Structure 1
Amino acid sequence: MQQNPTRTVIIDTDPGIDDAVAILLALKSAEFDVKGITTVAGNIGIATTTRNAGRILALEGRNDVPVIAGATGPLSRKGFDTADIHGNDGLGGVAFPDPLAAPAGNDAVAWLRETLDTADAGSIAILALGPLTNIARLVQEHPDAAKRIGRVIAMGGAVYEPGNIGPRSEFNIAADPEAAEIVFDAGLEMTLIPLDVTRKVRATRDDTAMLQNTGVPAAVASGALIDAYFQSTTGGESRPLHDPCVMLLALDEALFGCETLKLSVDTGTTRDAGALSVDETGSSVSVALKVESAAVLKLLYERLSAE
């Protein structure tokens, strides 16, 4: 793969097992200049997701990337508890060092506004790995700053696939459907990576053993994190790597096939809350619907394992 020019990115996240793998991939990829990590309550509460972001950075010795705490819950509804999947610490009990620095703030939206306003318009991309609450609040409270975002790449939703937290709904969108609707409607340059793609990017136990045998800290930790998925979920010989697909698409978009769809979000109160529908009255969003699974896994493992 030809290396792309360096792109300044902000990672908006709720770490989270697969969030952690995605963040490690970003930190190991020279194409990304990570300006900061903003956190959101999603997989687990905001205090833990914020601490986990610092712990992941500490594994790579990165004290140059600030962590800013964000939304403590959805815009207008109760969040989910996924400790049964991600563990009480959010990272499946995998050992990480303590953060090297305290969070740089507790108002992610204000930090996003200031950062976007002081950078060239369009120069910063947001890689969104969790509920879209922080970005939605930015759109609502600071629309001019939101318009300066170069691109949003987000993991979320299910288009033609069944959901993973409801019959048709995926966790990130279902955790805050109102936020997703706001972001989709904002007219931002946005690519959504749904379960239709992420379920095709799957790690096996052989993969986790290979990663842990490299001795490279990011690879060892990633192998242990994916193994934790095997421990907390049942059935099958592999586990999907949802959030790393965001970084992988940013690294090599040619490995994905995207199509512009008009999407509406179910903001009701049934088990379909957060479900996406292709609807002529919906918002136009670029959606990844195809992926070269073997190639993206090769890229992921090569980056994580690099010395």
Structure 2
Amino acid sequence: MKKLLNLQNCMLGFGLAFLYLPMLILIIYSFNESKLATVWGGFSVKWYFELMKDEQLLASIWMSLRIAFLSATSAVVLGTIASFVMIRFGRFRGHTLFSGLMTAPLVMPEVITGLSLLLLFVSMGDVLGWPSDRGIVTVWIAHTTFCTAFAAVVISSRMRDMDLSIEEAAQDLGSTPFKVFFVITVPVIAPALLAGFLMAFTLSLDDVVISSFVAGPGSTTMPMVVFSSARLGVSPKINALATIIIMTMSFLVCLTWWLASWRQKKEQELMNQLAKARNKT
């Protein structure tokens, strides 16, 4: 048994090292004095100041954040509607086709998705006159297209396990279906909505393939700038940017964990108080 536990610990340690050791090395080399990203030249924080002076990179970060927020919001709205149709409407005619079309972006290569969206926008521009040029709107539409599938999978799984008796009780008390959805359904599936939003936000912020097809000169995203600079040699400014992103995400994860623990502790204290009051009576 001890040998098995030691083997499990070794495999766990190897897996964690494989995942997080490259990030640790990247953070260390973000404080490198040398211009070469892989050659240590002494401790320095100058690349963080150089990052703050790089207007192109800062503009691409702001562009990526705006597109990611818009895409994630649209994906959650569309994913919620699609999940509601697939789960609550039963086996209607075309259910299988609709479900397949919703999940197709999950298995579709991003190159195919990007090329098809590019041809769509070019054809629409020739026939309808819109979009006249590729920019932030086309990137937003493209990211929403493939992020909706991921959000729909998360939301539909939560909606499928939801207890329908709560909604039926609210309707029996006179609530309209519209009110039931926003007062009962949405709060119950709120964790899935948040998870879908965060997943869509991350996917949009990370995408480079589809963005390369549908982006214009004034809508260059952060991954596109990083990828283009990597072909000429990674600048230590990219290490500094990656370190800031890693630290920000780590802080948010720790904050979320602390809030969840604090909420669970408060709920446990409330349950204990109720139990004590019930025992006294």
Q: Same fold (TM over 0.5)?
A: no
Higher strand share: 1
Q: Please report the TM-score for the alignment, with normalisation by the length of structure 2.
A: 0.23
Q: Please report the TM-score for the alignment, with normalisation by the length of structure 1.
A: 0.21
If you compute each CA radius of gyration, which structure gives the higher value, 1 or 2?
A: 2
> Which of structures 1 and 2 has the larger relative contact order (alpha carbons within 8 angstroms, sep 6+)?
2
